[in-house]
Amino acid sequence: MPINITMPALSPTMEEGILAKWLVKEGDSVSAGDIIAEIETDKATMEVEAVDEGVIGKILVAGGTEGVKVNAVIAVLLEEGESASDIGKVSDISAAPPPQPSPSGGEGVAPANVTPAKEQTAPAPIAAPAANTGERIFASPLARRIAKDANIDISAISGSGPKGRVIKVDVEKAKAEGVLAKTPASKATMASGMSSEAVKALYEAGTYEERKNDGMRTVVAARLTEAKQTIPHFYLNIECNLDNLLKARAEINGSAPKDKEGKPEFKLSVNDFIVKAWALALQKVPDGNATWAGDSILYHKASDVAVAVAVEGGLFTPVVRSAEKMTLRQISDAVRDYAMRAKSKKLAPHEYQGGSTAISNLGMFGIKQFSAVINPPHGTILAVGAGSERVYADKGEMKIGVIMDVTLSCDHRSVDGALGALMLDAFKKMIENPVMMLA
């Protein structure tokens, strides 16, 4: 029986993605485990494996297609003895049933190959309300997305698909003609009190360059807007003396064994100490290692610390799991590996999801102090500035030392002011007495 190859869900929250490219073509034989395609989400590029053996009978979604819904049929696999004539008609590849719950009751991650073709029924087309008449306009999700991006009123388009359904070619034709009414302003521009057209009108022609938001920027914008609107932030700041830490770092790096080329096998950064110190501080003040869960608060046993990594167009927050149990060198290796793979979007979803807290370090850019936005569902985020030489008082004497400002952003629903202060105090003691991290 022919088997549908469907768009996989690469994370529990994924709704659609980009089918970047096919690594096979129609007529190719594949075995279980063979890589057949590459899928792009806002965060990563992932490889799709075949879970059955057979022949690629038909490819239904071309490489480079955007907005492919999770569980949409993207190709059909023929088993031994079957031919193209056994492939049933697929009337809609843009929409598909939602993923089935996993046995544990949560949202399951859909496999790339799940439903026999003859058992799957074609889903009903998605209807969009007409702007003026109140009638329902039937359009494919891809057509609706293209129309939205182009600011086109889809109700004014005559569909050429089955039963007058608006499909991709109809929208592209309308876009080329450029004679259709515009859609209402988006929620984002309405929230600012101005439509996107009004904002653009403030600038003279040719004085700006407009760049369409990609998936990563769209998700970052949505999550940070959600964070500032729904999480009651408050901020605590403290100064840390880095003199002892910098001395310990120099001694550890100086004792690193050399490889065949005479280069040290490792080199710890100040950020590695910061991750370790924050992980241990969460263990010293376990009530602060918490996240808000609506009707309850989750107190985490392990210090799973996310580290913000800047990439082109956005950022990743890969999570260093159980950082309190890792050595400084292990943390250094983990963060370096995450950073390298983040820049090429090669992180797996489980590597940047979860955690209870995060660290954002802008010290390498010369920023002395800033406040960071909490990344849901985290309960806190530690903003780290650059260390700089400053004059400070010590038992009545004036001294000069390297001082670093850190600011802790807290979700007031789960972390109160006094609790956040205890967390920063524990962190400061670790930073200023780094030998405590080795105990």
* pLDDT score at 42: 63
* pLDDT score at 308: 93
* pLDDT score at 116: 36
Question: pLDDT-derived band of residue 119, with 50, 70 and 90 as boundaries?
Answer: very low
Q: May I ask the CATH class of domain 3-119?
A: mainly beta
Q: Does pTM surpass 0.75?
A: no
Residues 313-338: pLDDT tens digits?
788 899 999 999 999 999 999 999 99
Residues 268-292: pLDDT tens digits?
999 999 999 999 999 999 999 999 9
Report the C-alpha gap between 364 and 387 in whole angstroms.
9
- Omega cis (within 30) before 286: no
Residues 390-404: pLDDT tens digits?
999 988 999 999 999
Question: What b/e readout covers 273-304, taking b as 16+ CB neighbours within 10 angstroms?
Answer: bbbbbbbbbbbbbeebbbbbeeeeeeebebbb
* CATH superfamily, with its number, for domain 232-438: Chloramphenicol acetyltransferase-like domain (3.30.559.10)
| DSSP track, 140-202 | -HHHHHHHHHTT--GGGSPP-SGGG-B-HHHHHHHHHHT-SPPPPPPHHHHHTTS-HHHHHHT
**Cβ(399)–Cβ(392) below 8 Å:** yes
* pLDDT score at 257: 92
What CATH number is given for 126-219 in this structure?
Answer: 4.10.320.10
% of residues, the chain, pLDDT over 70: 78
Q: What is the mean pLDDT of the chain?
A: 81
Which strand ranges, in their side-by-side order, compose the sheet holding 45-49? 45-49, 35-40, 16-22, 65-69
Reply yes or no on whether 233 is catalytic: no
Tell me the HSE value of 279 on the side-chain side, using a 13 A CA sphere.
Answer: 26
Domain ranges of the chain: 3-119, 126-219, 232-438
Q: Which of 233, 300, 350, 412 is catalytic?
A: 412
Tokens standing for residue 66: 């955007």
Nearest CA among 221, 246, 249 for reference residue 402: 246
